[in-house]
Amino acid sequence: MNYLTELDLSASETLEVLALARALKAARGAPRDDLRGKHVALYFEKPSVRTRVSFTLAVRELGGDVVELGGHNTKVGHGEDIEDFAKVLDGYVHALVARVFAQDSLTALARQFRGPVINALSDERHPCQALADVMTICERFDRTDGLKGIEIAFIGEGNNVATSLALLAARLGADVRVASPEGRGLPAWALEKGPAGSVTQFEQPELAAVGAHVLVTDTWVSMGREEDASALKASLSRYRIDEALIARSRPESIVLHCLPAVRGEEITPEIMYGPRSAIWQEAENRLHVQKALLQRLLAAHPTA
């Protein structure tokens, strides 16, 4: 089994991973050997801090070993086909974690690599981030059986982060509203994949925020979008989580951001560091959900 998208696990399987993540978090510090003798390759086409550190520690804290690969020490795309690269790795390591530009690259890797392939980010999806977001929401609202009745408002471009969170949260029963400028909303296929009526696209952030339990945002200019920075910032200038927007949500609402954040653009410092912020808990939870995911996928995979 691979984890190329947030929908690769059923709702019940996702809840099992989240329960395991909570158990691993509670027991962190106790020696574990779940991945003893297992080698995990981390292949990164994009720079990373949280993803690289959290996956590296996840493997090591479960007793496994990590091999780091990327543009600096491979010839993928510069003399070696990505499928050949995957076929070689298949003889060396037990799992492959890949942070890539194109979602198709993950599909190509999975065609030749027999062990689990995990999407650590692509331009289309960010399923591991969505898992951490959902874990944080469950912790803050004391949920173990899903997100039924939880209302989530994503404020900003309908990008990979918004897509994965919307689809995963909706699968677990949440109602998700994504507020984006015209032409920058969720892709049509994402709206079609969500359960009927559970994912809604808005243009007005003020309407999306009304009654929300959770407000979520992301940086206005993602990696690889620097050439479009001026246009992105202009179109997203209204899509900021600040005190006025928070006032439209529930009194107990929380704020999430996958980081890195540009304070004063998509979120104000007062909110980011204020009592509503669950951002640092969210960042830590990347480690715990990824440990649970690795353990679950490797245990279930006959060739790993």
Does residue 260 have a cis bond before it (omega within 30 degrees)? yes
CA distance 106 to 44: 12
Residues with catalytic function: 99, 126, 129, 218, 258, 286
Q: At what angle do helices 160-171 and 11-26 cross, to 10 degrees?
A: 100
Look at the chain and count its residues.
304
Contacts of 18 (CB under 8 A, 6+ apart): 131, 134, 135, 138, 289, 292
DSSP for 89-116, please give it.
HHTT-SEEEEE-S-HHHHHHHHHH--S-
Q: Which two tokens stand for residue 33?
A: 């050997």
